[in-house]
């Protein structure tokens, strides 16, 4: 995927990454509200996703944002029942998402097996919700990156990785448990004014280096996501360890 050249901002540790990412999200959302009246944000799961949400909830300027006009989505979700502790939305809720003041109808959750007949139906429902409520373009997309270079639930070499004719796709036989998931596609994630990879930990260093350098799809999904807006990597020193000194 062609598009904007990514840039890298290195912070001392994971807590600093989460705090700085939260500040950037607040600024971008506030700008979107001023310019367009609403804001659409795609959240990420994992430990850094929860840390970022917690940093948003604790940020001293969180009250500046009119959260009732913000729409929240997820880049991917485990196909598990509502409230399951392994779901990304459950973990984000527990981290403080539910305290921000979002309108309930603006928190767009991926249907699990309790609310859909299959992950394919869940993906279709999510795409329909995106088309109904979305602006057609993300204001902010937040993504973690796995040690294998995956983003959302798009794993290198997996058939779902290169699906480009839909906005959301069912993922079967994920190499990382649980095996069944629903994910936004690269086509969908890349249609964004800002894409931020939020990564911490030495186990991610190789994945960060491949993502920033533009490794092939078989080695890195992150490298395929360039988008046509700003693309940045917010990483800690450990995750930046394999980058060239000039990055």
Q: If the chain, 247 residues long, is cut into consecutive pieces of 10 residues, what is the mean pLDDT of each piece?
A: 76 97 97 97 96 97 96 98 98 97 98 98 98 90 98 97 96 97 96 96 98 96 87 97 81
As to burial, measured by CB atoms within 10 angstroms (0-12 exposed, 13-18 middle, 19+ buried), residue 56 is buried
Asked if 156 contacts 149 with a C-beta cutoff of 8 angstroms, the reply is yes
Please state, in angstroms and rounded to a whole number, the distance separating the CA atoms of residues 184 and 106: 18
Confidence at residue 188, expressed as pLDDT on a 0 to 100 scale: 95
- How many CB atoms lie under 10 A from the CB of residue 166? 14
For the sheet containing 168-171, what is the strand order? Answer: 76-78, 181-184, 168-171
- pTM of the model as a whole: 0.95
Confidence at residue 246, expressed as pLDDT on a 0 to 100 scale: 57
Confidence at residue 136, expressed as pLDDT on a 0 to 100 scale: 81
Domains located in the chain, CATH noted: 7-236 (3.40.50.1360)
Take residue 200 and report the two structure tokens written for it.
Answer: 């911490």
Q: What is the dihedral of CA 217, 222, 226, 232, to 10 degrees?
A: -160
Confidence at residue 3, expressed as pLDDT on a 0 to 100 scale: 59
Distance from the first to the final alpha carbon of the chain: 21
């Amino acid at each position: 995927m062609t598009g904007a050249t990514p840039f890298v901002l290195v912070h001392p540790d994971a807590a600093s990454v989460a705090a700085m990412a939260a500040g950037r999200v607040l600024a971008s959302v506030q700008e979107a509200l001023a310019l367009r009246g609403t804001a659409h944000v795609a959240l990420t799961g994992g430990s850094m996703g929860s840390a970022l949400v917690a940093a948003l909830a604790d940020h001293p300027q969180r009250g500046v944002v009119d959260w009732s006009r913000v729409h929240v989505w997820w880049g991917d979700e485990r196909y598990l029942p509502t409230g399951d502790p392994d779901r990304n939305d459950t973990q984000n809720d527990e981290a403080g998402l539910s305290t921000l003041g979002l309108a309930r109808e603006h928190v767009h959750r991926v249907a699990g097996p309790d609310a859909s007949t299959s992950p394919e139906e869940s993906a279709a429902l999510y795409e329909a919700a995106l088309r109904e409520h979305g602006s057609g373009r993300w204001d902010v997309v937040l993504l973690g990156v796995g040690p294998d270079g995956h983003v959302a639930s798009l794993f290198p070499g997996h058939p779902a990785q290169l699906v480009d004719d839909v906005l959301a796709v069912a993922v079967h036989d994920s190499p990382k448990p649980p095996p069944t998931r629903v994910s936004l596609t690269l086509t969908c994630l890349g249609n964004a004014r800002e894409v931020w990879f939020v990564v911490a930990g030495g186990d991610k260093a190789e994945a960060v280096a491949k993502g920033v350098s533009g490794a092939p799809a078989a080695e890195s999904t992150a490298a395929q996501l360039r988008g046509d807006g700003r693309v940045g990597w917010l990483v800690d020193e450990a995750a930046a360890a394999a980058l060239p000194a000039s990055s």
